[in-house]
Chain A
Amino acid sequence: MVLGLLGLGALGVVTGATVQDGLSRFLAPIQMNDPTGLTSLVPLGNTWRYYSVTGAVEPRDAATYTLKVDGLVDHPSTYRLSDLEALPQLSFTDDFHCVTGWHVPDVPWTGVRVADLLERAAPTTDAVGVRFHSFDGTYSVNMTLDQARADDVVVALRMYGEPVTHDHGGPVRIYSGSMYGYKSTKWLSGIEVTDNDDPGYWESRGYPLDGIIDE
């Protein structure tokens, strides 16, 4: 029986992703409309898991939110939420993958491309990397300048057609489509252009420096 369980476990590891996707397709409509929230207590379907690396994070809203773009740039600037909303927006639908294995399929995102903000700031010639800071006071993520300029790296303002909620890292977070979730800084407060690609929070705790999804 013990061996049987271990065998079932191994089988589950190999087939679990498929089973989970099947279950999820079936259950998503139920979970989206579950007023009791009880379905979120069991690991059914592909659902969000909320992470925070500090204590409770003080929420910010349109009145108090600011995003600094600074470091090795010719034109450092500070954006309010309304400033970001006034910039050209990119909308696309993409899967969110956590490095540990869970994922949420088909999430609609809307935001300003990091590439656009960098272009406005004009990095100096010795700029190499970008460091995203969080107003949780602790979290940070590194990317190379080239990675940060990718088409699917956005300063996300909307998710599922609504403003990004606090639990999802709102009002403003990063979404980087071709990288694992830990690369998408929540509660974004700053984009600092640097002369290095030093590891950020999870990168210095063992996760790969460039969290490209390997599939």
Chain B
Amino acid sequence: MSDRSSSPSSVDRFAPAERWVHRSVAMLMGTCLVTAVILYNGSIMLAVGHRHLVETVHVWSGLALPVPMLLGALSAAYRADVRRLNRVTSADWRWLRSRTRRDGTIRVGKFNAGQKVNAWLVAGSTGVLLGTGILMYWTGLVRLAWRSGATFVHDWTALAVGLLVLGHLVYAVRDPEARHGMRSGRVSLRWARREHAAWADEVDPSGT
């Protein structure tokens, strides 16, 4: 792996399996959100039409969405990163409360607290959308009042997830090196030291 005697210029950030999960989830999530907008907005629906087709694509992308997330568990790198995302440190709480969180004084690990919160919200919301979606699609499962409740929860959760994804994209657009990391699996050590100092120390203990 990395040469410990002299500092390498770049380091491994995401394993191939993790990048595959990311790409699959991104495509399915994108399909879900685009079809959701068509199904929800009246003007777009009437212009596009073909409700049954759009609905079928939406439902099956939604049912498939957790599959890559779960398949990722076959990869040790993915499991290790899930454990990192699940670990909340006191530094994370300070980072979330701090106004100057990006200046590097709080040394963040492989994932900053914002990324951790995003991961939990996406995972939890996916579960909520899946459950409520199933109740709405297979209409014989529960009585009408619960289907109304499911529609209510599904709509609001979808709106929240849409905003989360939008925020995720905004951060990605602003940080080409982070995008490069997800595309190629590697990031420059300089970027790692600036954005994830504690993690950079882990992967390159010889560094300054």
Contacts and interface: CB of A to CB of B under 8 A. Distances in A.
Interface of A: 1-6, 8-10, 12-17, 19-20, 40-43, 48-57, 97, 99-103, 167, 201, 205, 207-208, 213-215
B42 A50 contact: yes
Contact of A20 (B42, B47, B51, B152): B152
A25 B120 CA distance: 34
Nearest to A43: B155
A101 B144 contact: yes
Given A2-B127, A6-B131, A100 B139 contact: yes
B1 interface: no
User: Interface centre among A8, A9, A43, A205, by most B CB within 10 Å?
Assistant: A9
Given A56-B46, A56-B49, A215-B143, A42 B148 contact: no
Given A5-B127, A103-B148, A205-B52, A51 B136 contact: no
A78 to B, nearest CB: 27
A19 B51 CA distance: 28
Given A1-B124, A50-B45, A57-B46, 15 more contacts: A2-B127, A5-B124, A6-B128, A6-B131, A9-B153, A17-B145, A17-B148, A50-B46, A52-B46, A55-B50, A101-B149, A102-B151, A208-B139, A215-B144, A215-B145
A103 to B, nearest CB: 7
A14 B45 contact: no
A-B residue pairs, 6 tightest by C-beta: A5-B124, A16-B149, A43-B155, A101-B147, A9-B128, A16-B152
B135 interface: yes
B46 A10 contact: no
A214 B145 CA distance: 10
Interface string B77-107: 0000000000000000000000000000000
Contacts of B153: 9, 12-13, 16
Interface of B is mostly: helix
A54 B49 CA distance: 5
Contact of B149 (A17, A48, A54, A215): A17
A4 B124 contact: yes
Interface of B: 40-43, 45-52, 120-121, 123-125, 127-128, 131-132, 135-137, 139-140, 142-153, 155-157, 159
Nearest to B153: A12
A13 B128 CA distance: 10
B23 to A, nearest CB: 22
Contacts of A12: 128, 132, 149, 152-153, 156
A50 B48 CA distance: 11
A48 B42 contact: yes
B143 A2 contact: no
A17 B46 contact: no
Contacts of B47: 56
A116 to B, nearest CB: 30
Contacts of A14: 146, 149
A1 to B, nearest CB: 4
User: Interface centre among B135, B144, B152, by most A CB within 10 Å?
Assistant: B152
B60 to A, nearest CB: 14
B52 A5 contact: no
B131 A16 contact: no
A102 to B, nearest CB: 5
